[in-house]
Structure 1
Amino acid sequence: MTERQSIYDAIGGIDKVDELVDRFYDLMALEPHFQDLRSMHPQDLSGSREKLKFFLTGWMGGPDIYSPKYGHPMLRARHLPFKIGLKERDQWLACMYKAMEECGISGNAAKQLEESFLNTADWMRNQAN
């Protein structure tokens, strides 16, 4: 990954974002240890999948496709109705890290994503523990 190359480009663009998000939600739905995380989402995950794909595309340095359709992300505000403590944060991170690994995202891009995901997930917490 070069200094000017975005994480989006480094991991493979929209195809890799789509693969990552699909694997993330598949793991969430299939793995029993992500049950609490899954229960926070609607039965039909298609809208959640689309929103995360659109958001991550811009967040990783690709085109902004989220805001024109859904407005400003307002991540924390949109998640305030949900109890997000350490357990929920850690389940989200474990699910995303496993999806990254299974999708072959590694090296510097993976390290940068892991750190950014950790910072963002921790910022989303609205419960002390």
Structure 2
Amino acid sequence: MATSASDVRETPFDMVGGATVVRQVVDLFYDLMDRDPAYAALRSLHAPDLALMRESLAGFLNAWLGGPRDWFTEHPGVCVMSAHAKIRVDRETADQWIDAMGRSIADSPIDPQLGARMIEALSGMASGMVRSPS
């Protein structure tokens, strides 16, 4: 049985604009984290060179949104929680991450309603990573 165009469901990845827009969000996020003192605690958790983190977060978000699953193929058995298990994520750094990601999504071409749903879900993930009180 052939699949018609009406049977194909658009993924959130498609709805945000694909890998180009995801990369735009990631670059906005890391640029904010790098230059805005409001994110100093979050920035201190990262290596001086953010190139690898930019690639990794873009790959993760692509897959999380229903796009190419390369990140999961390249990191077998790793989930976002286990990837951050050794990092001291406290309430302050989680809140900084949520705020910077929210600003990055808001400054992208992503539909505001979809962006709000993304932030809601990503906020839950970031909050779930808090391991120690601030």
Task: Tell me the equivalent position of 1:95.
Answer: 100
Q: Which residue among 32, 38, 56 is the counterpart of 1:27?
A: 32
Identical-residue share of aligned pairs (%): 29
- Contact kept? 2:21, 2:109, Cα under 8 Å: no
Task: Tell me the equivalent position of 1:9.
Answer: 14
| TM-score, normalization by structure 2 | 0.87
Alignment of 1:1-129 (within 5 A): 4-129=9-134
Larger Rg: 2
Number of residue pairs aligned between Structure 1 and Structure 2: 127
Structure 2 unaligned segments of length 5 or more: list them: 1-8
1:39 offset after TM fit, Å? 0.7
Distance in 1 between residues matched to 2:112 and 2:57, nearest whole Å: 23
1:65 offset after TM fit, Å? 1.0
- Contact kept? 1:55, 1:73, Cα under 8 Å: no
Q: What root-mean-square deviation, in Å, do the aligned CA atoms of Structure 1 and Structure 2 show? A: 1.6
| TM-score, normalization by structure 1 | 0.91
Distance in 1 between residues matched to 2:131 and 2:44, nearest whole Å: 17
Structure 1 unaligned segments of length 5 or more: list them: none
